[in-house]
Every structure is written in structure tokens, then in C-alpha cells.
Amino acid sequence: LVSLLGGLLILPTGEESSSEAVWWAFLRLTDPGYLGDDEGTWRRTVSTMLTISGYVLFMGTLIAILTQWLTRTMRALEQGLTPITVRGHVAILGLGSRTLPVVAEILGAGERLRQFLRIGRTRRLNIAVLSERVDAEVAQRFRRYGASGRHARDIILRSGSALQTEDLHRVNVADAGAIILAGGVFARSELQSEDVATIKTLIALRDEARPRRGRPAPLVVAELQDRRQVPVARAAYPGPLALVAVDQVLNRILVQQLRYPGVARVFEALLSRQGSHRFHVRDASDFAGGRFGELQAHFPDALVCGLVRPDGDGFSARLNPPAATRLQRQDRVVLIAATHDATEPRSGNRVSAPVAIAATWVPPPSPPHRLLVLGWNRRHVALLEELAGRPDMPVEITFVSLHPAQERTALCAPALADVTHVQCRQIEADFVVDSELAACRPEHYDSIYIATSDLIESEQEADARTVVGHLVLSRTLATAQKRPRVLLELADAGNASMLGSHRDDVLVPPLVISHMLGQGALRRELLAVFEALLQRDGADLMLVEPDSATEPEARAGDVATLRTHLLSRGLLLLGWLDGAGALQVQPPDGETLPAGLDVRWLVLSAGTAFDAP
């Protein structure tokens, strides 16, 4: 059209025919090199207008097309719609409250991560995260949580839902070294729990991550909110599967907290990145045929506390087994140490004879315990079931919540059928109101547990209620003659700073669960260790009074003397907790024992052997 218009404008000059005039205009429009070849004011004016129009039409349009194409391409890449081709990576399905802590656990795993890479025959760590939304904000969240600098290249974000089978291809689950299904990803409703969506994802992985080309099916580490769904989840995925039941883990920590006040902070120190020491697992084939009690001499910089043995398609762990337990070639030794390098065995150490157990120490029977629970969540029913299975722990438990008391009573009734040692009472009140909490008489209880409500969708709002409830409780107990032991549960560790200076115990379940998921994906045997630490039967993690567990001469010596004395009673010394709440784990043998009435020994009770010695 521009060429036709330009040709019509120069026709009056009479130098060209109509077709030649249109061709003349087209040449000036498409090639600026003709500018200056024309004579006459009118022809030069028309030629200049055509040349400028060519710049606008051709170059402007071309740049616009390229820019729009580039923008669409970058947006598609940013959304993570293209599949990845890496192998031996860690695939995390879903972006939720556990995802960032799990990534931090994996990035900070050190030697454990290097072992995972060697097993997967890959040089570089790759963590592929499947998220329903991928943008600059999501990437910034990972950078704030430690995935920055050299670790920024290790994170691959892909867009999609774990519930959509075709989206699983984007993170190449078939060739993954490990797949993690963390909690806090799927939305809950009255008719569908989060576990239902998790099991549906396991069914999709059954076909997508099946064994192929001589490669075994990848290990899947999944989080379940309800332990009753464990058999269904195992049936959904036939490959190697490790499950972490949140209600079971947290309720067993709470039960141990009731028996041994303060032990919750010990669990969090050993089962999260917050503590100075961790559990480690090393190959014990070099010690096959030897006895468990002889192992400690080979590990002077670590504390030997158990064994892990293959059991079917999984593993079984025993903590503090009998000293005479014979080691097999496939066994792994469980150690507590500050770093993995400290678990290196040293040759040439003199092997001493195991300490014989003269008389196994039995903890005193638990007196009737009065527990006040502020807040309601779905785990409380499982808590009652856990307490019902411990007839040696008589408990009077009172729940305070705005959730209708009649509904809570109906939910709790099946768990307490034919149970006499657990008495349950429901109070309908708002514990963040001074007068309503004071009416519950919290000073008359032995322990108080402020629980995070899962009826509130936002974790920050749930923590806000917990923090305010703690403030109201502190005001109510300010004049009490004896302050009950208080345990707070937070959904976000960053909110702990709002509590101010206090000596109450704080438990952050996402840190504990994320540690179990991340470390279990890198070293599956560790999940067996965590399970053994929390199981109802076997070795218990205890805080015991020095007077009840040791003789005066043992308390007057050093750590080595105390450790030997406790071993003779079937107790393995891990450290101590002082009156100020400071935890000491794996003290050196020559260290002087602390003085004070508030010090309690942190020990593992006598465990069971895999078989008869």
C-alpha cells in the first residue's frame, strides 16, 4: 500500500509509467541506499518519506517480532515447562512448607551427600523441584534459604503438579536417584486429606518410575500425616519406599517429653540441623565377627550407639544392643558425632573387653500425670491412642479449644475404649483470652502443651496464635507457686524469636520431619535409626536424675568413669542437660562432670539384639 501511494505521488512528474513509479517507490521503501539518487524537490521529499517509512515498517516490525518471540521463549523457560535430562538427581515433588528445609538439609549434608553421588554415579548434585508456580519470587525464596552462590546451579525448578502424570516427566522421575514427597504441598478439605493426594502420587510413580534398562526403581521418601495410611501407601508403590508418619513421630516425642521433661529439645537437637551432633552410619564389614561392645575403641572421636542390619527390602536398627551382640558383614554401625569425618575408624587402638551388665537399671514407675493441651489438631486422636498403648503411664489429659467439645469427644471416644489409665476431658474455650485460660486453672497441671492448630490454613496465623497463647499463659502463671513444664509447637522456626527469653521447650516439627526426609533420601539406613529412636519398644532416650541412676563415687569421677558405671547398668551415656537448658552431647572422656542439682544424664536404655548372642 505504501508503494502504491508513493507511485501515485510521483506520477504527475511524468518521468515513469504507473508500474515503473510503483517499482521506484518500492525500491526506496525497502532499501535506504537509493536515497540521494533523485532529482527535484518533490521526488526527494517523497523518497525521504518512503525511506523513513521503510525504517519504521521493516526494522520496527522485525524488532517487535523478535522481542515478542524472545519474551515468550524466556517466559516458557522461566515457567519450567521443558523436561530435564539429568540422572541420579534428587526429585522433590511439590513446593510446600517442608521443601525449603529439605533442600537445606541436602545441601548441607557434606560427606553423606558425596556418598549419595558416588552411589548414583554422578559428579554433581542436582535437585529438581516440581512446583505449581515457578517465577522469580520462588527462585528468590530458595536463594534466601541457602540455595545461592555455587548452590544456585544445583536447583532446577520445573512447573507442574505432582498429581499430573505428564508433569512428572519434567523432573525425570524415572532416572532420579531419590524422590521426596514432602508435606504441606496438597490442600486439605473435609473429604480429602493430604495423604490421599500423596498416595495418588505414589500410584503415578508406580508406572513412571518403574525399573528400566537395568536400573532399579528410585527410592521414594514420603511424608504421611496419618500413620494409618502407611499400609495403603506401601501397596501403592512397589519399589523401595520409606515413609515418615508425622503423627507417630511427634506423638512419641511428646510422650517421651511427659516421662522425661526436657527431652523434646534433645530430640530436636539430634534430629535437625539446629544441633551440634548428628547420627551417622558407617559400614562395619571390617569388624564382622566381633562384638558390639568392642566397637567404641575403634571410634575415639564418635559415640557408638547402635547397629543397622538389612531386613527384607529395608533396614532394621537396634540402639544400645547388648555388648555381646555379634556383628555380621552386612551390618552398619550407628554413631553420634559432630562431623562425618569424626566417624572415621582408627586402627591400632587397644580393644578393651565389653562392660558386663551387673543389673539393668529400671526407671521408676511414672506417677499420674496431668497434661493440659491448648489447641486442637487431628494428631490428638493418635496421641490418645499412643497413650492408651502405654499402661505404665497414667495420664489425665484436658484439651482446650474453640473446636466444639462434643465433636472432639466423639472423635476421641474410640481411642479410649476399654482404657482406664487415660482420662480425657474436653473444654470449649479460647486460650488466648486471659479470663478463659485462667478458668482452666493451668497452674494445677504437671505439663502444658501448646499445639499448632491444623484447622488454620496459614502456618503463620497458627504460629501467631501459639505465640500469643504462650504470652497469655506466662501472665497467668506469673504468680503460681510451681510452674508446669511447658512445650510449645511452632510451624516455622523463624517465629521462635518472638517468644523472648524463656526456659520452656520449643518443638518445630517441620525441622524434625525435614531432617528425616532429607537425610533419609541420601542414606536410607538413617530412617531405620530414627524409627528405632522413636519406637515404643526397644531403647528409650531418657533424661534421668543422677541420684537414681548412679552411685556417689561414679558422680565424683570424670566422664569415662560415669560412662563405664552406666554401661554396667545397661545405660549408654550420651551427655547431659543442665538446669539452664544447655545440652551437652558426646562429652570427652576426661571432662569433669558438672555439679548441681538440676543436671540430668542423657542416656539410652538397654536395647534388644537382632538375635541371641
Going from the N-terminus, what domains does the chain have, and what CATH number goes with each?
A: 2-78 (no CATH), 90-239 (3.40.50.720), 369-509 (3.40.50.720)
Residue 348 has a pLDDT of 57
Residue 187 has a pLDDT of 59
Residue 155 has a pLDDT of 86
Eight-state DSSP code of residue 173: G
Residue 517 CA to residue 509 CA, distance in Å, equals 12
pLDDT in tens, 474-524: 999 998 888 999 999 998 877 887 887 667 888 988 889 998 999 889 888
Look at residues 56, 10, 6, 55 and name the one whose alpha carbon lies nearest to residue 31.
55
Single-letter residue type at 126: N
Is the C-alpha dihedral spanning 238, 244, 246, 248 positive or negative?
positive
Half-sphere exposure of 346 (CA within 13 A, CB side): 13
Cβ atoms of 525 and 315 within 8 Å: the answer is yes
Going by their DSSP bridges, the two strands 303-311 and 314-319 should be labelled as antiparallel
Single-letter residue type at 329: R
Residue 613 has a pLDDT of 41
The count of other CB atoms within 10 Å of the CB of residue 38 is: 19
Residues of the chain with pLDDT under 70: 76-79, 119-121, 145-151, 186-192, 212-214, 348-354, 356, 358-359, 501-502, 596-597, 611-613
E strand intervals along 477-551: 485-489, 505-507, 541-544
Residues with Cβ < 8 Å from 488, sequence gap 6 or more?
450, 466, 470, 499, 504, 505, 506, 507
pLDDT in tens, 296-306: 989 999 999 99
Residue 612 has a pLDDT of 46
If DSSP codes are grouped into helix, strand and coil, which group holds residue 332?
Answer: strand
Residues with Cβ < 8 Å from 235, sequence gap 6 or more?
none
Look at residues 500, 497, 519, 518 and name the one whose alpha carbon lies nearest to residue 508.
497
- CA distance readout (Å), 531 to 255, 268, 271, 315, 536: 15, 14, 11, 10, 10
Cβ atoms of 341 and 111 within 8 Å: the answer is yes
Residue 208 CA to residue 202 CA, distance in Å, equals 10
Look at residues 208, 102, 225 and name the one whose alpha carbon lies nearest to residue 160.
208
Residue 422 has a pLDDT of 94
Q: What is the longest distance spanned by two Cα atoms in the chain?
A: 125
Residue 470 has a pLDDT of 93
- Indicate the burial class of 327 (C-beta count within 10 angstroms; 0-12, 13-18, 19 or more): buried
